């Protein structure tokens, strides 16, 4: 019996037989030259046609899957990628398979050089195209057949492989690689498949048809469990099932503490596909609509994005605010025309990019302004503001765009609320100044943490230093809340801290009245909030702010949650 832990990306307790898949084709590419580049070129072009035909046969189950298939089709039609492969064949006289591998490795190396977790996870998408091309060149099927109920164990799994499976037979996923924002994780959420990623070597130590047990919430895997462990996991499953039912039943209840303090819970989404989950979870609005993900899928089609913004506003109606964050491109999310930088996280990103590319920014602002005419719930928020001068420059440009809309007869809400993200220490420390110019603020804890303690959250070597409960981070958060409230400005959190139910007592105690997270996290956080006493949370937070180090704070929070 072997125990392993990874990243739990969707909860669920499962015991079953493993279906093991390992991708070995990449190791089998022969680095050989050809005397007939024309033949190899023909083989490659036929492979591209074959793979595109396979993709067109896949019937997506959801909007997420449809969008992903569109991304893969775009990748296999990318003129730069195809040209690089063709040049490898024609000029360097590589065989078709070696040409594909060499071109892919160049792309992958460029993403790795960015040193960011988001792009590291996009590598799987490129590998998907590569595996399918190499399989087609070799005449090998790239399908993953699951003909009986199984827990899928693999070195990695591409979204298209998962999409082609009979998912009624997929009990759960255990992968060597992947993280919370990978496409497979997104699909696992969409399909509600228990999944644990980042297990390292799980595919090499589990034998096909071996019995495995997994707890997706805890990220726990047991290989070849004994009878006692199997009984334990069955008990876990019963508890998890009852808990999920209770969470769903509680979706109509307010997130209110025992002493009557109301916390507003909202959702973070990237597109229309997130709305159903937000509404079914009882979320009181969209605290963060990440517009850059629509841009990455189709950078130039602004009219289509405008229609999506309007549809989101229309469907949310009066359920709560819909907060559109302007493009947070650059850094870890590169669009067409953007080039890699030596230090992208501190580079040309978000409003810095938008204010230099006003042609792009203007179109997006018009689209969001149009959506505000559909519903007065629409709000506009700017990311990565570093101080008042930057904010005022952006607000002046917004006024300019509004004037253009008036002149062109484009309707919009003249009273649309404007907000700013607080993601940098400079913004946090000048909250009292920034609050004079906005209606609301939202703390992006992911960036605020890494900028405050100088730790790249995507760098595995220093991941242990990424501490959300570092005293400096908590003191900044408390300062932001206090200064904003003095000016009558509301403050929310839209980073990962908001969606962790264990942090709820501390966040309530620090004074946050709005939290934004994933739909499933709304259910869990609501349940936790309804067990809390707000006054007790305030006392607890005051005590935490007096502690000297993250370890002491982590221990105090664990003790508080244990007593509750």
Distance separating alpha carbons of residues 251 and 279, to the nearest angstrom: 9
Among candidate residues 23, 183, 264, 520, the one labeled active-site is 183
DSSP code of residue 326: P
3-state DSSP call for residue 100? Answer: helix
Distance separating alpha carbons of residues 125 and 275, to the nearest angstrom: 25
Distance separating alpha carbons of residues 344 and 353, to the nearest angstrom: 12
520 catalytic, yes or no? no
Q: Give a three-class secondary structure readout of 518-532.
A: CHHHHHHHHHHHCCC
Distance separating alpha carbons of residues 477 and 493, to the nearest angstrom: 9
Interacting residues of 183 by C-beta distance below 8 A, sequence separation 6+? 68, 121, 124, 125, 159
Dihedral of CA atoms 479, 485, 490, 493 in degrees, nearest 10, equals 20
Which secondary-structure segment (H or E) carries 137? helix 117-138
Helical segments of 375-518, H only: 388-407, 425-429, 431-434, 445-452, 471-486, 504-510
Distance separating alpha carbons of residues 424 and 384, to the nearest angstrom: 7
Which secondary-structure segment (H or E) carries 54? helix 37-57
Distance separating alpha carbons of residues 203 and 19, to the nearest angstrom: 10
Distance separating alpha carbons of residues 525 and 368, to the nearest angstrom: 30
Distance separating alpha carbons of residues 24 and 15, to the nearest angstrom: 27
* Token reading at 226: 């004994």
Distance separating alpha carbons of residues 117 and 442, to the nearest angstrom: 23
Distance separating alpha carbons of residues 288 and 380, to the nearest angstrom: 10
Among candidate residues 267, 354, 494, 537, the one labeled active-site is 494
183 catalytic, yes or no? yes
CA dist list (Å): 73 to 70, 109, 203, 215: 5, 22, 28, 34
Beta strands 195-197 and 150-154 are: unpaired
Distance of CA 438 to the CA centre of its chain: 27
Phi (first) and psi of residue 93, to 5 degrees: 60, 35
Residue whose entry in the numeric block shows the structure tokens 């997104």? 186
Distance of CA 160 to the CA centre of its chain: 18
Beta strands 264-269 and 286-290 are: parallel
Q: Give a three-class secondary structure readout of 219-261.
A: CEEEECCCHHHHHHHHHHHHHHHHHHHHHHHHHHCCCECCCCC
Please name every residue paired with 8 in a beta bridge, in sequence order, or none if there are none: 196
Tell me which residues are annotated as active site. Answer: 183, 494
């Amino acid at each position: 019996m072997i125990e392993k832990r990874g990243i739990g990306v969707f909860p669920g307790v499962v015991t079953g037989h493993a279906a093991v898949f390992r991708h070995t084709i990449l190791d089998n590419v022969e680095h050989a030259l050809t005397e007939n580049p024309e033949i190899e070129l023909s083989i490659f072009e036929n492979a591209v046609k074959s793979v595109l035909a396979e993709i067109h046969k896949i019937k997506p189950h959801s909007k997420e899957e449809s969008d992903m298939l569109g991304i893969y089709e775009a990748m296999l039609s990318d003129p730069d990628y195809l040209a690089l492969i063709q040049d490898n064949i024609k000029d360097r006289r590589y065989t078709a398979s070696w040409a594909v591998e060499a071109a892919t490795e160049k792309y992958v190396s460029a993403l790795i050089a960015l040193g960011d977790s988001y792009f590291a996870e996009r590598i799987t998408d490129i590998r998907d195209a590569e595996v399918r091309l190499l399989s087609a060149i070799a005449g090998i099927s790239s399908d993953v057949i699951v003909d009986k109920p199984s827990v899928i164990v693999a070195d990695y799994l591409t979204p298209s492989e998962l999409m082609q499976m009979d998912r009624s037979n997929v009990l759960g996923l255990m992968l060597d690689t992947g993280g919370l924002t990978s496409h497979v994780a997104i699909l696992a959420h969409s399909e509600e498949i228990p999944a644990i990623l980042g297990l390292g070597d799980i595919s090499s130590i589990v034998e096909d048809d071996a019995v495995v047990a997994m707890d997706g919430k805890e990220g726990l895997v047991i290989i070849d469990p004994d009878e006692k462990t199997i009984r334990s996991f069955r008990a876990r499953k019963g508890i998890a099932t009852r808990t999920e039912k209770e969470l769903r039943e509680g979706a109509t209840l307010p997130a209110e503490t025992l002493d009557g303090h109301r916390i507003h819970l909202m959702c973070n989404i990237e597109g229309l596909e997130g709305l159903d989950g937000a509404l079914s979870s009882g979320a009181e609005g969209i605290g963060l609509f990440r517009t850059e993900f629509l841009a990455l899928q189709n950078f130039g089609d602004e009219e289509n994005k405008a229609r999506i913004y309007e549809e989101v506003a229309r469907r949310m109606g009066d359920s709560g605010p819909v907060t559109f964050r302007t493009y947070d491109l650059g850094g870890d999310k590169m669009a067409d025309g953007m080039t890699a930088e030596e230090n992208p996280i501190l580079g040309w990103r978000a409003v810095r990019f938008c204010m230099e590319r006003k042609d792009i920014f203007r179109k997006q602002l018009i689209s969001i302004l149009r959506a505000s005419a559909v519903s007065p719930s629409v709000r506009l928020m700017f990311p990565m503001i570093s101080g008042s001068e930057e904010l005022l420059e952006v607000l002046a440009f917004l006024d300019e765009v509004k004037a253009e809309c008036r002149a062109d007869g484009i309707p919009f809400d003249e009273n649309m609320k404007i907000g700013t993200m607080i993601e940098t220490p400079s913004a946090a420390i000048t909250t009292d100044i920034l609050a004079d110019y906005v209606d609301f603020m939202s703390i992006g804890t992911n960036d605020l943490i890494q900028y405050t303690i100088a730790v790249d959250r995507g760098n595995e070597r220093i991941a242990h230093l990424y501490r959300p409960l570092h005293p400096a981070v908590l003191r900044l958060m408390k300062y932001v809340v206090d200064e904003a409230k003095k000016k009558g400005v509301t403050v929310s959190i839209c980073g990962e801290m908001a969606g962790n139910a264990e942090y709820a007592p501390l966040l309530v105690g620090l004074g946050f009245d709005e939290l934004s997270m994933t739909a499933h996290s709304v259910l869990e956080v609501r349940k936790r909030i309804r067990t809390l006493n707000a006054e007790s949370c305030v006392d607890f937070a005051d005590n935490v702010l007096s502690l000297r180090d993250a370890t002491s704070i982590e221990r105090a929070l664990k003790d508080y949650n244990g007593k509750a």
